[in-house]
Amino acid sequence: MLAFLEGTVIARQDDRLTLRTGPVGLWVYVPRPLAEQATIGRPLALHTYLVVRQDALTLYGFDTEEARDLFALLLGVNGVGPRLALAILSALSPAALRRAVFQEEAEVFRRVPGVGKKTAQKIVLHLQDRLKAEDTLEHVASLPDVDAEVLDALVALGYSIVEAQAALQSIPSDTPQDVETRLRLALRYFSR
């Protein structure tokens, strides 16, 4: 199993990067926010998950081990394949995903293209059993109230919850924790 990959980004698409590692270029499917942040010519390190199928070997990459582990858990849900799991992690940050599971908010998953009502309920039920309650509580408690306010403001402006969460993910981690600054940076996501 390929657990980690480091290389230089040589090409970028909506959900896929090409990384040069020595004389080899590898296609790695990544969540959309990660693909958008990647810069051609810059080094990138990814935690990877290899999906082996009868006709293909497909590599998926994530910026954190947590995101990779959630991807693997999502693959265990009946009706969720790698592309849908990647779409979920493109729309929801790991913290937002954990919060939705812990608070049993299946409707959050229904806003992801390709996830219906039954699949959303299956995701919540499947992950509730596998996510440690104390880990989930810790992640939910650590979510800044500021981000919840920014999310509410974006939804009030007419963006979908999925779009708003993607914009939140695009905010750099070192951004000050005030609503105005974070909202301004989130809105820049839509002007790209």
Q: What is the per-residue pLDDT across 38-89, written as a single tens digit (0 to 9) for each? A: 999 999 999 999 999 999 999 999 999 999 999 999 999 999 999 999 999 9
Topology of the domain comprising 65-141: DNA polymerase; domain 1 (1.10.150)
The position carrying tokens 């996830």 is: 115
Give the CATH H-level superfamily of domain 4-62: Nucleic acid-binding proteins (2.40.50.140)
What are 109's two structure tokens?
């998953």
**∠4-115-46 over CA atoms, to 5°?**
10
**Which residues, given as ranges, of the chain have pLDDT below 70?**
132-144
Look up the pTM and report it.
0.71
The C-alpha atoms of residue 88 and residue 103 are separated, in whole angstroms, by: 17
How far is Cα 144 from Cα 9, in angstroms, rounded to an integer?
32
Give CA separation, 57 vs 2, 9, 20, 29, 136, in Å: 11, 20, 17, 12, 32
Reduced to 3 states (helix: H, G, I; strand: E, B; else coil), residue 6 is: strand
Between CA 124 and CA 131, with CA 126 as vertex, the angle to 5 degrees is 85
What residue spans in the chain does CATH classification 2.40.50.140 cover?
A: 4-62
Task: Kindly report the CATH number that applies to the domain delimited by 145-190.
Answer: 1.10.8
Q: Where in the chain is the domain with CATH 1.10.150.20?
A: 65-141
Taking the CA atoms of residue 82, residue 49, residue 141 and residue 177 in that order, the dihedral angle to the nearest 10 degrees is -100
DSSP for residue 120: H
Among 189, 186, 72, smallest CA distance to 127 is for: 72
pLDDT number for residue 142 = 47
According to CATH, where is 1.10.8 located in the chain? 145-190
pLDDT at 130: 85
What pLDDT is stored for residue 102 in this prediction? 86
Q: Residue 134: what pLDDT?
A: 41
